[in-house]
A = this chain, B = another copy of it.
Amino acid sequence: MKKIINQPNAVVSELLAGMAKAYPELKHIENLEVISRKEKSKKVGIVSGGGSGHEPAHAGYVGKGMLDAAVAGNVFSSPSPDRIIKGIEEANSGEGVLLIIKNYSGDIMNFSMAKEMAEMDDIRVESVIVKDDVAVPDSTYSTGRRGIAGTVFVHKIAGAKAESGACLEEVKAAAEKAIANIRSMGMAMSACILPAVGKPGFELCENEIEIGMGIHGEPGVERTSIKTAAETADILLSKILADYDYSGSEVALLINGLGATPLMELYIVNNEAEKILSSKGIKIYKTFVGNYMTALEMSGCSITLMKLDKELKELLDAPCNTPALKI
């Protein structure tokens, strides 16, 4: 296993410690593995999190205009409720807290338990569930669609709404509106290795890719031969566009790398995605290209679209200042 780590079971605490050292505006709560903003303001708090191994998600989105706290589980494992409660407490300024949860059974269970326990402590908590991945109707770790890279758009929209001074119900409504308008679809070209396991969870042959693979290596829809960038963009966008009507609308476009795919290739995919969307009369309002939600050293990419109205455009354009996204 070629990884630059120390102890496999210490990767989460060490990565978060290294992150807090790089960004002095962030605070690492050790053992509970929460990253939160040092500077607090009176507003609705936004909390997200989930298993580690998706860096920069989720801690990379903590900062002004996005999350107030991110809660990290072990690699590809949901954070326990006590960690999530700490995240909620860190994010709470008395105006209530919104939890942004990716649709995995472990996350749903643990975030829900933490929500109930926080409510018993008189903290108002609401939650939204992101299920943007159109690849499969149910999956290994999820009932219903999986939450993947589109989650970053939900962080942005909810974070901007909260920063504007909106109340908890309004922030939740903005997050729900974003979720309703987001669809994603991905493909993988190689597996990733969990530090504590030491070998890949599956193998893809030299010339083989998997369409619709999840960000934990969950099965997708098809194993097939390697495709060109044009074919890849077409396959991913076709599935997205068949699922939701983006025709005639303005969209935010995210070309997300899974970890080991060079930026060169993501830009080439973007070049193709733009051609396809333009040919269909879909106007790209803003484009994001990079490693926003990864799967350790998996190679491959996903495409995400978010249909925009006036409110979503304003919230997308609002300033944010986090390690992984600055606007």
Query: Which A residues contact B (CB, under 8 angstroms)?
Result: 2-6, 11, 14-19, 21-23, 52-53, 55-56, 60, 189-190, 206-207, 209, 226-230, 232, 255, 259-272, 274, 284, 287-289, 291, 294, 296-297, 299-301, 326
Contacts and interface: CB of A to CB of B under 8 A. Distances in A.
B11 A268 contact: yes
A228 B209 CA distance: 31
Given A22-B288, A232-B4, A55 B301 contact: no
B230 A6 contact: yes
Given A4-B261, A190-B2, A21 B229 contact: no
Nearest to A12: B264
Given A262-B259, A326-B326, A299 B2 contact: yes
Given A18-B267, A267-B22, A268-B14, A5 B229 contact: yes
Nearest to A192: B262
B6 A274 contact: no
A228 B227 CA distance: 36
A129 to B, nearest CB: 25
A299 B297 contact: yes
Nearest to A22: B287
Contacts of A22: 255, 267, 270, 287-289
Contacts of A263: 55-56, 60, 291, 294
Interface of A is mostly: mixed
A296 B271 CA distance: 18
Contact of A4 (B11, B55, B265, B294): B265
Given A6-B229, A265-B3, A289-B18, A299 B260 contact: yes
A271 B21 CA distance: 7
Contacts of A272: 6, 18
23 contacts: A2-B299, A4-B228, A4-B261, A4-B266, A4-B268, A4-B301, A5-B265, A14-B229, A14-B267, A18-B267, A18-B270, A18-B271, A19-B289, A21-B270, A22-B255, A53-B264, A55-B262, A55-B264, A259-B262, A261-B297, A262-B294, A263-B291, A291-B291
Contacts of A268: 4-6, 11, 14-15, 18
B11 A264 contact: yes
A189 B56 CA distance: 22
A51 to B, nearest CB: 12
Contacts of A265: 3-5, 15
Contact of A2 (B15, B226, B291, B301): B226
Nearest to A55: B263
A271 B22 CA distance: 9
A5 B232 CA distance: 9
A160 to B, nearest CB: 17
A6 to B, nearest CB: 5
A270 B15 CA distance: 8
Given A5-B268, A15-B271, A267-B16, A260 B297 contact: yes
